[in-house]
Amino acid sequence: MPPPRQLALALGHDESFAREDFLSGPQNEAALKLIGRWPEWPARSVLLVGPEGSGKSHLAAIWASASGARTTSARLLEETSVPEMLATGALVVEDLSTWHLEERALFHLLNMAREDGCHLLFTARTLPGNWQVALPDLASRLREIPVVTLEPPDDALLRAVLVKLFADRQVAVEESLIAYLVTRMERSFAAARAAVSALDREALRQKRPVTRALAGELFRDPAA
């Protein structure tokens, strides 16, 4: 079957990051259990690794609510701001990689968190073994951090994600539409977000409901 065309995302809706709105399955069960075990973690720093849209930020938000953690992006880390970031004793660092990363700031953060007994939750799209780290001591510290991976969804979880994404936009849909999308899209949360966004935007443009028929028009093979 042909994949959906890539369309720009529509903005302007709220997505719930509450615990009750997290959709669990075999692909993310270990990560969800880890978040629920806090503060009884295997280490004070842990790393969630998974593809875009796999639920890392949702899990991080659940943990931040429970722990009082602040949240920042890895690319915004600065050595001088580390004490303030750790003021609550817990910190979420999103999108960790070596691109646009101040390595000394991250090393300082890990050291200070260890000294002060703070908890750190990192998220990343790739495993640390794939990163190019210039500071040997930092590379060593990163290898010590326990890693929990989130896998792409199966059909059941993908169906549930699609329903939730439509619900977040206050769009009621029929099962026939969900079944149609699941059989024609890439198995990823990012693809689900793109498909829902494209359908919602096209429905608004045409002033039509979001239906299986609209999806058939929008995602049909351009060469057909």
- For the chain, the structural domain boundaries read 28-149, 155-218
- The widest CA-to-CA distance across the chain, in whole angstroms, is 63
Domains 28-149 and 155-218 share a fold: no
CATH number for the region 155-218 comes to 1.10.8
Q: pLDDT digit of tens for each residue in the chain (224 aa)?
A: 333 333 333 334 556 676 667 777 888 999 999 999 999 999 999 999 998 878 899 999 999 999 999 999 999 999 999 999 999 999 999 999 878 789 999 999 999 999 999 999 999 999 988 889 999 999 999 999 999 999 888 889 899 989 989 998 999 999 999 999 999 888 888 888 899 999 999 999 999 999 999 999 998 754 44
* Count of C-beta atoms within a 10 Å radius of residue 14: 8
Report how far residue 81's alpha carbon sits from residue 216's, in angstroms, rounded to the nearest whole number. Answer: 51
Peptide bond into 39 cis (omega under 30): yes
Domain 28-149: assigned CATH number: 3.40.50.300
Which H or E element spans position 110? helix 103-116
Query: Other C-beta atoms within 10 Å of 144: how many?
Result: 10
Residues 6+ apart with CB under 8 A from 27: 54, 150, 151, 152, 153, 154, 157
Q: Residues 155-181, buried b or exposed e (16+ Cβ, 10 A)?
A: eebbbbbbbbbbeebebebeeebbebb
